[in-house]
Each structure stands twice: as structure tokens, then as C-alpha cells.
Amino acid sequence: MRITPPRPSEITPPEHYARRREFLRRAALAPALMLGGTVLPAPSFAAPGDGARASPYSSDETPTPLKHVAGYNNFYEFGTGKEDPARHAHRLVVRPWQLRIDGLVKKPVTLDIDAIRKLAPLEERIYRLRCVEGWSMVIPWLGFPLDVLLRQAEPLGGAKYVEFVSALQPENMPGTGSRVLNWPYREGLRLDEARHPLALLVLGLYGEVLPNQNGAPLRIAVPWKYGFKSAKSIVAIRFVEHAPLSSWMEANPREYGFYSNVNPEVDHPRWSQATERRIGEFRKRRTLMFNGYGAQVASLYAGMDLRRHY
């Protein structure tokens, strides 16, 4: 698919971005979600962006236009095409929604989405998102540190890893009828990765409630890893002793390793990872080690062979 670069009039002006709630409500959000002939329903609860603080972890890069963020996604539960999630994700049921946290914990807990939103003040983080296929975006995520959520269950000393399990709604997710993955979708992080200050629990983007096709009602964002590591529409978190088997590792271990750190020196078996193309642009960029977050996260992997632990 060829992506047409946005006209200047389609890029969010800084003065509008500062008043993003009003701008999105009146102008950008509805058109951005009118994709493939489908108009996605309005969020069923209030937008969370009011009063969100800017984060010192944010990139200073210009965010990718909302029409691309909401319209060009990997979310295989709704199909393997990049536009399939925007066409079909309106079927995802996001209310009621509960998240179970258990495993090697002192206090297993089940929280609904409203309780989760009250755990910590929201902040906006402009993060780069790098996908293994060679494209990238810059997205203003809205959420709070993932560790705030993880602490609710009081993990035990034997917990070394965290497994994330995504929702499975076969009647609403047409992609789950395929055998491309073993559903439900599962991902995992080492516990110190999950507790790193850069790991974000996401509840929204562009100052609004997270669109269904972007992983509503909650997902994670791990900006130094390839996008598939940031599990969407999470319903369970499990603390475990050993590295969990993620969905892509199970499907194709030769191409997808557990760590999946952005590393331009390790090619995907079918293409180079040395460059990337920002959605909405034609020129290619040099891929940055750890997606440009090396100063913050490189110490997590000191002494590791990042070609073997890919």
C-alpha cells in the first residue's frame, strides 16, 4: 500500500494541539475514525486528556497525523491488513472491561477500567513507535507508568517475568478465525523491563480515549522495542518465574525473539532493519539503536549478546 504524505493543512498545528480536546472533538477525531466506510462509535466514557501533565520522557519530534495513527495499524485480531483494524474494531466490546493480575503475587487482584484510571495521574508521552516491517510513527500516548499497575498485586521474589494476555472475542474479532497466530495474543517482558520508567500503561492517545483499533481500552507502550511487544486490549497480567512464550515466538521463533529490542544491526530474516520510513513521509531514516532510547535502557542489557538475544 502506498501512503500519501499529508498536506500541510492535515498536520495538527501547534496552537490547536495545545487545545487538543476542543480541536479533536470538532475537527480531527471523527474524520480520522471514518475509515473503510465505517464510522466508529464515540467513546462510551469521558475523554481522559483534561489536566494530563506533559512528561519529561517525551520525544520532541512532531507527532504523526492522527489519520495515520488511527488508520494504519497492526492488530491481527481484526485482520492482517493495515487498514483492517480501523474497518472492524468498532465491534470490539470495551465495556464492561476487567483486568486480572495474578501468578507469583502476594495479592491477586481484578480491576475494572475505571479503577485503573484512578490509580495515578495521567501524563502525555510522545513516543516513537517502530514496527518490524520497517515503518514508524510518533504518537502522543496518554497513560501512567506500567509499574504503578504492577505494584497493585505485590509481586513475590520469585517473579522474574511478566506475561500479558490480550482479549479474545471471536464473535467480534474476525481475524481470530485465521491460523496466523494461536489466540489469544500473548506477550511478555522481563520484570525489570516492565518496571522501567519508560514502560507505559496506555489509556489514550492525542488527548482522547484510546481508539479500539489502537488497543482500547488499555494497552502498553514499550518504546525501545518493536511494536508487537506492546500488547493491546489487555485482560490479564501474570507474574511468572520463567520467560513466557509469546505469540510471535510460538508462530515463528526464527524471526521473532523474546527481547525484540530495536537493533539496526540485527536484520529480520526477510528484510533489513537498518532503515525505517515514518508513516506520511517518503524518505527513509536511519534506525536508531533501542529506537533512540539507548541512554535510558541500554544498562538493562549490559553484558548480553544482543545478536543472540534478539
C-alpha to C-alpha distances, 193 to 121, 138, 189, 250, nearest whole angstrom: 21, 21, 6, 21
Q: What are the tens digits of pLDDT across the range 69-95?
A: 999 999 999 999 999 999 999 999 999
CATH code for position 93: 3.90.420.10
Structural domain for 188, as ranges:
8-301
Percentage of the chain lying above the pLDDT 90 cut? 80
Query: Is 140 within a domain?
Result: yes
Q: What are the tens digits of pLDDT across the range 207-252?
A: 999 999 999 999 999 999 999 999 999 999 999 999 999 999 999 9
Query: Is 159 within a domain?
Result: yes
Query: Is 308 within a domain?
Result: no
What pLDDT does 8 receive? 36
What pLDDT does 49 receive? 62
Query: Is 2 within a domain?
Result: no
Of 3, 70, 21, 48, nearest to 214 (Cα)?
Answer: 70
Query: Is 307 within a domain?
Result: no
Query: Is 306 within a domain?
Result: no
What's the pTM value of the predicted model, to 2 decimals? 0.86
Query: Is 183 within a domain?
Result: yes
Query: Is 281 within a domain?
Result: yes
Residue 76, helix vs strand vs coil: helix
Structural domain count of the chain: 1
Of 281, 280, 255, nearest to 266 (Cα)?
Answer: 255
